[in-house]
Structure 1
Amino acid sequence: MPLGPDPRSIHPVPAHPRIVFLKPLIDDPKIEIGDYTYYDDPENARLFASRNVLHHYDFLGDTLRIGRFCAIATGVRFIMNGANHALTGFSTFPFNIFGGGWEEGFDVGTITAGLRGDTVVGNDVWIGAEAVILPGVTIGDGAVIGAFSVVAKDVAPYTIVAGNPAVERRRRFSPDVTERLVRVAWWNWPIARITKNLAAIRGADIDALERAD
């Protein structure tokens, strides 16, 4: 039985090199990507790590984690903690990075005091074009982020958010169905089981999905 595209392939749709699976493409230990998560960009798809994950510096230790089966549209950007400026004093200007004596007396603690931790995207998340995800945000499984949104706070599973700042527009399903979907976690099934049960995954009958074998 065919089991879908090879998750190790960078270009899973050969006729469309604008679509890339990110896991086999990225070798940065600070970025963790699940199988089948893809990025779509007609010009710079293979440069996701450098063009779309910004201010991501080794010495800060924060991680970007994205789950399986996520769809990331053109121009989505993840702003990491390295974009932070000191807020503990009167000026936010980063004097220290310019040297020439301005680095003397700099306390890195003024930067780390404002860090917000890892950025985490769940599974089966759709992020629309040009959306911006700010540091330390957690986006739950099954969420949808509207195009051009700025996500500054956590997004609950199966919630649609949009705007600047992004706010909840609606829940995709009832609380009961959402809880059951998170519990089923079809994205963690073996790929043969996923392939066999695509009709239930694509459908909207939670009972059928829970009965899938």
Structure 2
Amino acid sequence: MSDNLFFQPSQLRRIGSNVIIGKTVRIRYPELVEIGDNVIIDDFTYISTALTIDNNVHIAAGCKLIGGRNSTVTIGEFSTLAPNVVLAAGSDDYIAGIASPLVPLEYKGAVQIGTIRLGRHCIIGANSTVLPDITLHDGAAIGAQSLVKSDVPNWELHAGVPARYLKARNREEILRLEQIWRSKQT
């Protein structure tokens, strides 16, 4: 991991054990990033927000976790981001202001800087986008190419633009498999 092109692991606020971070992962504010154990962040991922990642999380190639220094993203245990997911914890309104991170807030439009929270066992499908101030509760799943504009309740699968309810996930089976896996880790 020390061969990363953009930062040194020692710059992170916290990094657990058995962590793999791709050589081309870019973390703009490494001092705002906490990573648990057994985490993989694949190449070409870009992170420009305060970020807390729990244990056993995978972030696939090409994801963007963005929003700036004052936004926050948290990812719960056993959660997964498929390739090219965007977690946009900050966004401009694109209507009446300069939409650039290079200008002070008083020159921007209605900027929304917030938080995105993913509970445990969340999955977000490829090429999906989650907007600011959204919570995906435990077990929430998002189908590929979806736009998440509102919170997703526990153990539900949502998909589409905007994302909407499709069906319930099998909570009991997922948690049963987690228990079996945990029993084999000791």
Distance 1:10-1:94 versus aligned 2 partners, 3 A rule: same
* Aligned-pair Cα RMSD in Å: 4.0
Correspondences of 1:24-43 after superposition (within 5 Å): 30-41=50-61
Paired with 1:96 and 1:163, the residues of 2 have a C-alpha distance of: 28
Higher helix share: 1
Q: If you compute each CA radius of gyration, which structure gives the higher value, 1 or 2?
A: 1
1:84 aligns with 2:92: yes
Tell me the number of residue pairs that the alignment of Structure 1 and Structure 2 aligns.
Answer: 151
Shift in Å, 1:57: 1.5
Paired with 1:173 and 1:119, the residues of 2 have a C-alpha distance of: 24
Q: How many percent identity over aligned positions?
A: 22
| SS, match of residue 63 in structure 1 | strand
The runs of at least 4 consecutive aligned structure 1 residues that moved more than 2 Å come to 6-9, 25-29, 95-99, 105-108
Residue in 1 that maps onto 2:19: 9
Higher strand share: 2
Q: Deviations over 1:13-51 (max 9, x none)?
A: xxxxxxx614xx99977011111100222xx5xxx5xxx
Residue in 2 that maps onto 1:168: 165
Distance 1:7-1:164 versus aligned 2 partners, 3 A rule: farther
Paired with 1:168 and 1:159, the residues of 2 have a C-alpha distance of: 7
1:53 aligns with 2:65: yes
| SS, match of residue 62 in structure 1 | strand
Distance 1:26-1:76 versus aligned 2 partners, 3 A rule: closer
Residue in 1 that maps onto 2:117: 120
1:155 aligns with 2:152: yes
The aligned amino acid for 1:128 is G
Query: For 1:74, which of 50, 60, 83 is the aligned residue?
Result: 83
Residue in 1 that maps onto 2:106: 106
Q: List runs of 5+ in structure 1 lacking aligned partners.
A: 1-5, 12-19, 199-213
Q: List runs of 5+ in structure 2 lacking aligned partners.
A: 1-15, 22-38
The aligned amino acid for 2:127 is E
